[in-house]
Amino acid sequence: MCPRPAVILAITLYVLYTASAWVMLRSVNKPRLEPLAWALILLAIVGHSDAIMHMMRINGPFSIGLLEAASLLAWTLAVLACLISIERQNRALGAILMASAAFGAAVTGAGRSYAEATTAGWELTAHILLSMGAAALLFAAAVTAVLLVFLDRRLRTRRIADLPNVLPPLDALEKVMFRLIGAGFGLLTLALFTGFVFVTNLFTQNLVQKTALSLIAWMLFGVLLIGRIRFGWRGRSAVQWTLSGFGVLAVAYFGVKFVLEDMLGRHWG
């Protein structure tokens, strides 16, 4: 993709996602804005999808770089935001995810794809999609955890009147967080499984660090879910485990990639 069209595309997607987030948030109290909110977000997703497909057609089989991964994660977040926003009380969370997608979409077309000598089959495609799906769900869970901290502090300081009326009740938000964690944990499990089964030469592709950190994140979320089911974990402890797990996963997906590609000039397949 040429530099100028890529910049125009990135700006357009950023504006569409940002506008859809703002209108979706306003639609909580002004239902007449709902059609406009849905039109904006669907237009953004369609344009973003076309950009990703164009990137794949131009480059052929490739190993996505850091910026392509950020763009793909943004697309996944946008789709997840649509699903979450179907229920009106969760639209504040959906709007935050759409705004987050705007930042990832802003780098669409600016990345550097690395051509591979071998053909990437459905196995690698499935692994990438599962990984991005898990990252999006667990990112949403981390955002929900931050919202829980915000609400909890307001309640503890008796500043109930200052609470935005677009936010759902504390208990409802906590249930959403654990649903996101459960779904994200399932996709992360499948992503790790497909990685072990389908990715060849695991120890010669600079994948060891990513795999080890992903396994640590998987264990953290697994312990949290077990604690929730067996011991009823909730509140601050659940928030801390959620943020810790996603922090490790973010380093695995993007931190290691940044160090390898931008600092050491290497990439994984």
For residues 119-131, average pLDDT: 74
Tell me: pLDDT of 227 over 60: yes
The type of residue at 140 is A
Split at pLDDT 50, 70, 90, the class of 114 is very low
Split at pLDDT 50, 70, 90, the class of 8 is confident
Whether 29 contacts 46, CB under 8 Å: no
For residues 204-231, average pLDDT: 88
pLDDT more than 70, % of the chain? 79
Alpha helices per DSSP H over the chain: 3-26, 34-59, 66-85, 91-105, 122-156, 170-198, 208-231, 235-250, 256-258
CA–CA gap between residue 170 and residue 150 (Å, rounded): 10
Give the torsion sign (CA, 10, 132, 41, 43): positive
pLDDT for 51-107, tens place per residue? 887 766 655 444 566 777 888 899 999 999 999 999 988 999 999 999 999 998 887
* pTM score of the predicted model: 0.86
Question: Which carries the bigger pLDDT value, residue 118 or residue 13?
Answer: 13
Long-range contacts of range 55-61, CB-CB < 8 Å, 24 or more positions apart? 55/1, 55/109, 55/111, 55/113, 58/1, 59/113, 59/115, 60/115, 61/115, 61/116, 61/118, 61/119, 61/120
Structure tokens at 200: 């060849």
Structure tokens at 173: 């938000």
Identify which of 118, 120, 179, 106 has the alpha carbon closest to the alpha carbon of residue 144. Answer: 179
Supply the mean pLDDT for the chain.
Answer: 83
- pLDDT for residue 269: 46
Lowest mean pLDDT among 49-53, 116-120, 174-178, 253-257: 116-120
- pLDDT for residue 24: 94
CA–CA gap between residue 245 and residue 74 (Å, rounded): 20
Question: In Å, how far are 33, 37, 101, 262 from 25, measured between CA atoms?
Answer: 9, 9, 15, 37
- pLDDT for residue 117: 39
For residues 110-118, average pLDDT: 47
